[in-house]
Copies of this chain bind each other. A is one copy, B any other.
Amino acid sequence: MNRVFNFSPGPAALPEEVLSQASGEMLDWHGIGMSIMEVSHRGKDFMALAQQAEADLRDLLDIPSNYKVLFMHGGAIAQNAIVPLNLLRGKTVADYVDTGSWSTKSINEARRYCTVNVIASSKGEDYVRVPKQSEWQPSKDAAYIHVCTNETIGGLEYQWTPTSSFDVPIVADMSSHILSRPIDVSSYGLIYAGAQKNIGQAGVTIVIVREDLIGQAHSHCPTVFDYKTQIENQSMFNTPATYAIYMAGLVFQWLKRQGGLVAMEQRNIEKADLLYDALDHSDFYITKVCKEDRSRMNVTFFLEDDGLTPVFLAGASQRGLANLKGHKLVGGVRASIYNSMSVEGVRALIAWMNEFELIHG
């Protein structure tokens, strides 16, 4: 077995020790003679596991007690519908900040349920920056303000915390940078995140929601996607994605062993700084995102001679640097350096970038 450095944007690399543990426990979890994926979600074993996973997540993110944690089906894209179905609460307008592909998906889906007011957008600047809060032009009567705090495709990240009034909560899609740094949960009304970047395997979505916001879902909201229903049923109104929750729980424990999110943020800063410094010291590679809005998770860049990009990617792949191709919408190169990516992996990428520039520069 020869593990590669996997820069996949998602589903993404997981810590090797988490995968090893899962592999070892696959046929017999904790001596019960069954896999954890073979037991009832309502049995004592899985219930205890799910409770521990929630407790560890609460601990890691320091989630206040007036926030509920849900493990839902459907991915972040389902939340693009589930959020307005739950949070409009009789209102007809919601505010959205447009910072790229994922914001746009959220906006388009919300338009099916309400009037969307795009209160700020960097579309006209080819999404190279995050509009500052001072530029936002919020509606008078919005049900909520939606932001995507890390744009996986463009490589933008909020390096600041948006603020709003209690009545107009901020809703944040944090799919691609949750758990990469401490956050102030109390600044948000609702946070959602698909699992397949920093949490675990695709198929489970984490929702953290302030409890006063629930209980007014639209009558057409499928019951299983009514936050109130899921809260009342401990995320088990239907059978949850049990194995995905198990994997998430293993990742949460791994994060705690790493020192939690303060330590994780330091490591992520170190990795991102190494890579952006290398990019900034070269004319061969080009970055487009404004420095203050650069994502620590998804580092997007281009070769000055774009014709060399396939050669760069093929050589990277041969050296065990996998899945570096940029998203088809933007092209170029994208290094997704989530929590599981080691400093060693980033150094190996930089070594290849330098080698490639020496040959072709």
Binding site for B on A (CB under 8 A): 1-4, 6, 8-14, 16, 19-20, 22-24, 26-28, 32-35, 37-41, 43, 73-78, 80-82, 85, 109, 112-113, 194, 196, 201-204, 218-220, 222-225, 237-244, 247, 320, 322-323
Establish whether residues B224 and A41, one from each chain, have CB atoms under 8 Å apart when the complex forms.
no
Q: A33-B320, A74-B74 are in contact. List 19 more A-B contacts (CB 8 A).
A: A4-B33, A6-B33, A6-B38, A8-B34, A11-B41, A19-B26, A20-B26, A23-B23, A37-B247, A73-B73, A74-B78, A77-B223, A81-B222, A112-B223, A113-B220, A201-B241, A202-B240, A203-B241, A203-B244
Establish whether residues B13 and A322, one from each chain, have CB atoms under 8 Å apart when the complex forms.
no
Establish whether residues B242 and A43, one from each chain, have CB atoms under 8 Å apart when the complex forms.
no
- Shortest CB-to-CB span from A240 to chain B, Å, is 7
Looking at chain A's contact residues, is the secondary structure mostly helix, strand, loop, or mixed? Answer: loop
Establish whether residues A224 and B81, one from each chain, have CB atoms under 8 Å apart when the complex forms.
yes
CB neighbours (8 Å) of A4 from chain B are 32-34
Establish whether residues A78 and B222, one from each chain, have CB atoms under 8 Å apart when the complex forms.
yes
Which partner residue on chain B sits nearest A25 by CB separation? B23
Establish whether residues B244 and A39, one from each chain, have CB atoms under 8 Å apart when the complex forms.
no
Interface-central residue, A24, A219, A222, A244, by most chain B CB under 10 Å: A222
Which partner residue on chain B sits nearest A327 by CB separation? B42
Give the docked Cα–Cα distance between A43 and B19 (Å): 21
CB neighbours (8 Å) of A112 from chain B are 219-220, 223
CB-defined A-B contacts under 8 Å, sample of 29 = A2-B28, A3-B33, A6-B38, A6-B39, A8-B34, A10-B40, A11-B40, A11-B41, A11-B239, A13-B38, A14-B38, A23-B23, A32-B322, A37-B201, A37-B202, A39-B323, A73-B73, A73-B74, A73-B203, A74-B238, A75-B224, A75-B238, A77-B224, A81-B223, A112-B219, A196-B239, A202-B239, A203-B241, A222-B222
CB neighbours (8 Å) of A10 from chain B are 40, 239
Establish whether residues A23 and B13, one from each chain, have CB atoms under 8 Å apart when the complex forms.
no
CB neighbours (8 Å) of A222 from chain B are 74, 78, 80-82, 85, 109, 222, 225
Give the docked Cα–Cα distance between A120 and B243 (Å): 37
Contact of A220 among B201, B220, B247 (CB under 8 A): B220
Give the docked Cα–Cα distance between A217 and B77 (Å): 18
Establish whether residues A23 and B20, one from each chain, have CB atoms under 8 Å apart when the complex forms.
no
Give the docked Cα–Cα distance between A244 and B244 (Å): 9
Which partner residue on chain B sits nearest A328 by CB separation? B42
- Shortest CB-to-CB span from A261 to chain B, Å, is 22
- Shortest CB-to-CB span from A216 to chain B, Å, is 15
CB neighbours (8 Å) of A78 from chain B are 73-74, 222, 224-225, 238
CB neighbours (8 Å) of A243 from chain B are 201-203, 243-244
Contact of A27 among B1, B41, B82 (CB under 8 A): B1
- Shortest CB-to-CB span from A235 to chain B, Å, is 12
Contact of A109 with B223 at beta-carbon distance under 8 Å, contacts A73-B78, A242-B202, A322-B34 already known: yes
Establish whether residues B27 and A201, one from each chain, have CB atoms under 8 Å apart when the complex forms.
no
